[in-house]
Amino acid sequence: MKRIMTVDDSSSLRQIVSLVLGSAGYEVVEAVDGLDALSKLHGRELHLFLTDVHMPNMDGLELTRHLRGMPQYKFTPIAVLSGSESDPNSKQKAKASGATAWLAKPFNPGDLLAVVKKVCVDARPANGALER
Amino acid sequence: MSTDIMEQLRGAFRSEAWDLLIELDSALLALEVEPGDTALVHRVFRAIHTIKGSGATAGFAHLARFAHKMEEAFDLARAGSLGVTPDLIDCGLKACDVIRMIVDDSTEGTAVPGEVEVTAAFTRLLPEPANPQAGRIEEIKPGAGAPAAFEIVFKPNREMFYSGADPVTLLDDLRELGHAHVTAHTDQVPPLSSLEPEHIYLWWEILLVTGHSQAVIKEVFVFVEDECEVRIRLREDQAATVALLGSVPAEAFELFIAETQDHLEEIEGAALRLEGDPSSRPNLDSLFRAVHSIKGNAGLLLGHVKGPALDTSHPLQLLLRMAHGLESLLDPFRAGSARPVPDDTIQTALETCDALRTLLGRLTHGGAGAPVSQKLIERLGVLTNDMPGSQTAAGRKAAFLNTTSQCVEMIEGCFRLMENDRESTGPVFETYLRGLKTLSAAARYGNCTELEEPLAQQLRILDAAMRTGAGLGREERSVLGSAFHAARSVLDRMSPDGDVSPAPGSADAVTAPARTPEEQPGVSSSPSTIRIDQNKLDRLMRVVGELLVARGAFPLLVQKLNNGADGAGMAKELKEAGSNISRIADELQTSVMSIRMLPVKTVFQRFPRLVRDLARSLGKEVRLVIEGEGIELDKTILEQIGDPLVHLIRNAVDHGIETPEERRAKGKAAAGQLTLRAVHEAGGVAIEITDDGRGLDAAALKRKAVETGLCTAEAAAGMTEQAAFQLIFLPGLTTAAKVTDVSGRGVGMDVVRSNVRNLHGTIEIRSTPAHGTSLIVKLPTSLMVSKGILLEAGAQEYILPLSYIRDMVKLPREQAHKYRGLTLAQVRGTICSIFSLAEMLGLPTAKTPELSVAIVETGTVKYGLLVDRFLTEVEVLVKPLAGGLEQCKEFQGAAIMGDGRVVLVLNPQECHNLERTECS
């Protein structure tokens, strides 16, 4: 099963992501901000990160930079959920910090699943052994 | 999205929104006191931003529209371009009230009192009209348009992986849009020495026939547009490409390309060889056959094309015609006496080969290449109306039947040759084989699945025969013949549209005679293949050869007997012949078994990574030592032992080995050592997983077991250390102080044990507190053949597998003592309880002056098994019990003895359980 970490300070958004992805057969790990996300990695394999940009303690872009610096996650897809605030450079900023994809909020469940399906890479067997 | 989930989403949002509104209220109130505090402005912005974003996602579209104005205002305030005035704060507070009402209101969509006013107030505050939802990519509707053929060049930047993107997913996305033919280019890959493993050097050309628009194709690359070069253009030969790729199954097209490439290589090779030896028939034949196959396959592919016929200048049409031309050119040299092939014909063949290759390139990607030379076309005598195949249904059938009937003829010829000359080998088989291969390719194009099995069967027999170089035996020949007839009857029943009418009753029996219903125990039903060391196969073949020779002795003996040879002499000769056969049978068994054997390395090799990752995630240092990788085990066992071993290793790293600090404090090296060792032992293999960690704490285990109600306090008190260790196998027991991601939930060890038991293996635990733990998994080398002791109990014979037997003794009857219903005896200095096999199985017991006892150890229990007498050591093929007898757990299976009797094979573990249930 593919494991996705959703990082968002909004509990309802996390719940929504969990519900939508959970009912589509993904395993979802929740984290409330960048720092929390890093503390919940435990070196395990994740197939995708979905992170908000604006969060207390550590924002989504900084989290992305951190993850890209870790050998285990340097190739893991990271999708940034950016609000539709008036920053026209948000995509560029996300990209520059190492994000793989972006999705504008608000999104409907279909959009979310489409993006997840698009970037979620198949589990590699070498690490798959860990999850059993 | 179901309404149920939508309702859950709304519920989830409501509870958060109340919290956010409280946060929003308090932040706004604080901001009223300290208008210059930017942190407070940020707080307000975040809260309203979340309300808007989460609300919209949870289905509160109305709320999101309302909140947008306020978000925008505070976004400007955050940036300093809008002052934090009492007006703004006032608006904000009013907005809170409106939001609260919208959230509470179950009838989403209706206007809420105050809403219009607040919106108007915000609009007045904002400098210019808001531009909601700007920059959203417009929804792209799935194209229902007419399919078009695109040519896509996709060159990712070298560093694309670093953004988490993966070209494979992009190619998969393209495939989902329609029929995609992907060609990977490797020309950018540098020599290994300068290859950067994390870079992408490949680039791709994709031929895509899709009903979607170019914009949809672009959308596939939306996240990587800055990281790759993508060129999408419509192909020039739209109609033809669409007609071809739109109607041909993707696999058939790929198969055609791959096979044609192989055939082209063959043409080139054969033509060059022919140049050196112009009258060489085999070279001419293989050249001809390759050309013929290309023509046949192209015809089949064309037969799939629906709609208007492909233009005669279409690469596939040209390919077909040129192959046909070359075939006609070569044909005269095959007829009659061997006539040397002139140089210019070979030259034409080579040029045609190049031209065909160019055409093939044009089919798969835009590959330009020189146009096919008109001269060559003339030389081949290819005329537009000289078409061996067309794309009507009848044409398709004709192409198929044409190919298949040629093959059938070819094979029938082989049968005649074999009939005339029983020793016929090499060349005949080769012809046969080629016929078969073409036939199976045709069957694949024609989607004729019924043909597959009989063809595969013939292929197997021929392959084996060709490898040995020996002739076919009578039986093999008859199997071959019936498989061929089965295939031919399928072809005969072929209706014009390529469907096969149902086979008459008996056909099934003919098509699959080689299937045996039962496989080995524990093997999943999915077909599996095995890679075999060539030497092992060679050895097997040598032994089979010897067997054939040895068989020859018997007709001679019969002849001698008929001629009245003398009894004693014959007996001696017969004995010799018999022992010769039995030696060969032994060797044959060893050879066949060895084919199923694989080194444990195949399982062990994934553990270094596992241990490393585990150690890292747990903050430990672990050194993994692997020994005995070369030891071999049966493939079935190896496949099923992987998971249990992973579990045991995980436990060892997580629970066994301490953290570096803890280890230093105990005076151990900071890095723990985990040893994984395979050794041969008592008719099987033992795999030991040894750590030098903290060891098992028997007392803690007992305490935990009592706490969790897995056993009573009294039972725990009386438990030996060994018995306490066995507690870890109980479901639900864990001694881990905390549950980690890795282990500690108390599930798994019971599964490990049952997996090992299914493989007729055992697990032993040895542990010394503070010095470490060893788990020893003992496995039989093979599930099929096992060694055992034939014994008698209650006037019945049974087999006890040798792997469970630790000792066999004879005791005087008076040395056994009865105590509380248990029979105890001292065997080699230790007391052990003795159970009578006959009693356990409810059979009459014999009174012998001496007790014959086998000391049996199963990993969990060790006891003496009392039998009437031991007979002999035997080697048997154990078959699982079936047909309702599976429930008789006390038997592992049954074995057929040399004289045809069936003897049951005991499972000492379950026998012991049987005894216990009877007692209680």
Rounded to an integer, the average pLDDT of B306-326 is 76
Structure confidence at residue B910 as a pLDDT band (50, 70, 90): confident
* Residue B573 or residue B446, greater confidence: B573
Task: Check: CB of residue B138 under 8 Å from CB of residue B222.
Answer: no
Judged by a CB distance cut-off of 8 A, whether residue B162 touches chain A is yes
Q: Which of B625, B545, B637 is nearest to B593 (CA)?
A: B637
Q: Decide if A37 is inside a domain.
A: yes
Task: Check: CB of residue B674 under 8 Å from CB of residue B652.
Answer: yes
Q: Is the model's pLDDT at B352 over the cut of 60?
A: yes
Q: What is the pLDDT of residue B23?
A: 83
> Which of B90, B125, B160 finishes a domain?
B125
Q: What is the pLDDT of residue B780?
A: 80
* Residue B14 or residue B337, greater confidence: B14
For B603, nearest residue in chain A (alpha carbons): A129
Q: Decide if B175 is inside a domain.
A: yes
Instruction: Note whether B553 and B626 are same-domain residues.
Output: no
Q: Which of B787, B902, B789 is nearest to B853 (CA)?
A: B789
For A112, nearest residue in chain B (alpha carbons): B57
**Segments of B142-227 assigned E as strands:** 148-156, 178-185, 203-210
The 10s digit of each residue's pLDDT in B580-599 is: 888 888 888 888 878 888 88
> For B398-402, B645-649, B690-694, which range has the lowest pLDDT when averaged over its residues?
B398-402
Instruction: Note whether B663 and B775 are same-domain residues.
Output: yes
Instruction: Note whether B628 and B748 are same-domain residues.
Output: yes
d(CA B439, CA B431): 12
Between the ranges B102-106, B299-303, B507-511, B617-621, where is the mean pLDDT highest? Answer: B617-621
* Residue A38 or residue B760, greater confidence: A38
Q: Is the model's pLDDT at B347 over the cut of 50?
A: yes
Task: Check: CB of residue B212 under 8 Å from CB of residue B119.
Answer: no
* Residue B196 or residue A86, greater confidence: B196
What are the phi and psi torsion angles at B200 (to 5°)?
A: -105, 125
> For A87-101, B224-238, B269-283, B377-391, which range has the lowest pLDDT when averaged over its residues?
B377-391
| Kind of pairing between the strands at B902-906 and B796-801 | parallel
**Mean pLDDT over each residue of chain A, to the nearest integer:** 79
Question: Could you tell me how many CB contacts below 8 A there are between chain A and chain B?
Answer: 125
- As a 3-state breakdown, chain A gives helix, strand, coil percent values, each rounded to 5, of 45, 20, 40
Q: What is the pLDDT of residue B391?
A: 43
> For B104-113, B185-194, B327-336, B908-917, which range has the lowest pLDDT when averaged over its residues?
B104-113
Structure confidence at residue B744 as a pLDDT band (50, 70, 90): very low
CB < 8 Å to B617, chain A: 42-44
Which residue of B20, B24, B50, B72 is the best one to mutate when testing the A interface, meaning the one whose CB has the most A CBs within 10 A? B50
CB < 8 Å to B8, chain A: 19
| B646–A68 CB contact, under 8 Å | no
> Which of B512, B547, B582 finishes a domain?
B512
Instruction: Note whether B118 and B153 are same-domain residues.
Output: no
Structural tokens at position B652: 């060892």
Q: Decide if B244 is inside a domain.
A: no
Rounded to an integer, the average pLDDT of B57-70 is 80
Task: Check: CB of residue B750 under 8 Å from CB of residue B737.
Answer: no
Q: Is the model's pLDDT at A132 over the cut of 60?
A: no
Q: Cβ neighbours of residue A125 under 8 Å, at least 6 residues apart? A: none
Q: What is the pLDDT of residue B791?
A: 92
How many Cα atoms are found within 13 Å in the side-chain-facing hemisphere of B588?
13
Q: What is the pLDDT of residue B307?
A: 61
Instruction: Note whether B621 and B746 are same-domain residues.
Output: yes
Percent of chain A at pLDDT exceeding 70: 86
The 10s digit of each residue's pLDDT in B83-94 is: 888 888 888 888
Element (H, E) at B726: helix B721-726
How many Cα atoms are found within 13 Å in the side-chain-facing hemisphere of B399?
29
DSSP B478-539: HHHHHHHHHHHHHHHTB-TTS-BPPPPTTHHHHH-TT--S---TT--SS-------HHHHHH
Task: Check: CB of residue A35 under 8 Å from CB of residue A57.
Answer: yes
Task: Check: CB of residue B725 under 8 Å from CB of residue B704.
Answer: no
Instruction: Note whether B730 and B664 are same-domain residues.
Output: yes
CB < 8 Å to A10, chain B: 16, 20, 50, 53-54
For A18, nearest residue in chain B (alpha carbons): B9
3-state secondary structure B425-494: CHHHHHHHHHHHHHHHHHHHHCCCHHHHHHHHHHHHHHHHHHHHCCCCCHHHHHHHHHHHHHHHHHHHCE
Q: Decide if B18 is inside a domain.
A: yes
For A118, nearest residue in chain B (alpha carbons): B169
Q: What is the pLDDT of residue A102?
A: 81
Instruction: Note whether B609 and B739 are same-domain residues.
Output: yes
Task: Check: CB of residue B767 under 8 Å from CB of residue B695.
Answer: yes
Q: Decide if A132 is inside a domain.
A: no
How many Cα atoms are found within 13 Å in the side-chain-facing hemisphere of B247?
18
Q: Decide if A131 is inside a domain.
A: no
Q: Decide if A90 is inside a domain.
A: yes
> For A33-37, B516-520, B774-778, B865-869, which range has the lowest pLDDT when averaged over its residues?
B516-520
Q: Decide if B816 is inside a domain.
A: yes
Which residue of A73, A84, A105 is the best one to mutate when testing the B interface, meaning the one whose CB has the most B CBs within 10 A? A84
Domains contained in chain A, number: 1
Which CATH number fits the domain that encloses residue B648? 3.30.565.10
Instruction: Note whether B422 and B478 are same-domain residues.
Output: yes
CB < 8 Å to B609, chain A: 126
Q: Cβ neighbours of residue B158 under 8 Å, at least 6 residues apart? A: B196, B199, B200, B201
CB neighbours of residue B822 within 10 Å: 11
Which CATH number fits the domain that encloses residue A24? 3.40.50.2300
For B224, nearest residue in chain A (alpha carbons): A100
Q: Decide if B574 is inside a domain.
A: yes
Q: Is the model's pLDDT at B688 over the cut of 90?
A: yes
* Residue B902 or residue B145, greater confidence: B902
Instruction: Note whether B726 and B690 are same-domain residues.
Output: yes
> For B32-41, B737-746, B893-902, which range has the lowest pLDDT when averaged over its residues?
B737-746
Which residue of B54, B70, B172, B606 is the best one to mutate when testing the A interface, meaning the one whose CB has the most A CBs within 10 A? B54
| Surface-to-core class of residue B240, CB atoms within 10 Å of its CB (0-12 exposed, 13-18 middle, 19+ buried) | buried
**How distant is the Cα of B58 from the closest Cα of chain A, in angstroms?**
7
What are the phi and psi torsion angles at B430 (to 5°)?
A: -60, -45
Q: What is the pLDDT of residue B495?
A: 52
Show which of residues 168-207 on chain B sit within 8 Å of chain A, judged by CB atoms.
Answer: 168-169, 173, 198
Rounded to an integer, the average pLDDT of B35-39 is 83
Distance (Å) of CA B665 to CA B161, B659, B670, B735, B772: 43, 10, 9, 21, 16
Query: What interhelical angle do B86-104 and B38-57 show, nearest 10?
Result: 30
Q: Decide if B448 is inside a domain.
A: yes
Q: What is the pLDDT of residue A59?
A: 86
Q: Decide if B522 is inside a domain.
A: no
Q: What is the pLDDT of residue B446?
A: 63
Q: Is the model's pLDDT at B678 over the cut of 70?
A: yes
The 10s digit of each residue's pLDDT in B360-402 is: 887 776 545 556 677 777 777 665 444 444 444 555 666 676 6
Domains contained in chain B, number: 6
Name the residue with tokens 């920053």. A87
Q: What is the pLDDT of residue B891?
A: 86
Percent of chain A at pLDDT exceeding 90: 6
CB neighbours of residue A114 within 10 Å: 12
Structural tokens at position B559: 């002849």
**Mean pLDDT over each residue of chain B, to the nearest integer:** 77
Which CATH number fits the domain that encloses residue B427? 1.20.120.160
Domain span holding position A120 = 3-125
Which CATH number fits the domain that encloses residue B161? 3.30.70
Q: Is the model's pLDDT at B511 over the cut of 60?
A: no
Rounded to an integer, the average pLDDT of B844-855 is 84
Q: Is the model's pLDDT at B514 over the cut of 80?
A: no
d(CA B69, CA B745): 50
Single-letter amino acid code for the residue at B826: Q
Q: What is the pLDDT of residue B109?
A: 59
Structural tokens at position B765: 């635990």
Structure confidence at residue B337 as a pLDDT band (50, 70, 90): low
d(CA B443, CA B445): 5
Q: Decide if B134 is inside a domain.
A: no
Rounded to an integer, the average pLDDT of B545-551 is 86
Instruction: Note whether B624 and B750 are same-domain residues.
Output: yes
Percent of chain B at pLDDT exceeding 70: 82
Show which of residues 791-830 on chain B sit within 8 Å of chain A, judged by CB atoms.
Answer: none
Domain span holding position B193 = 148-235
Instruction: Note whether B508 and B578 are same-domain residues.
Output: no
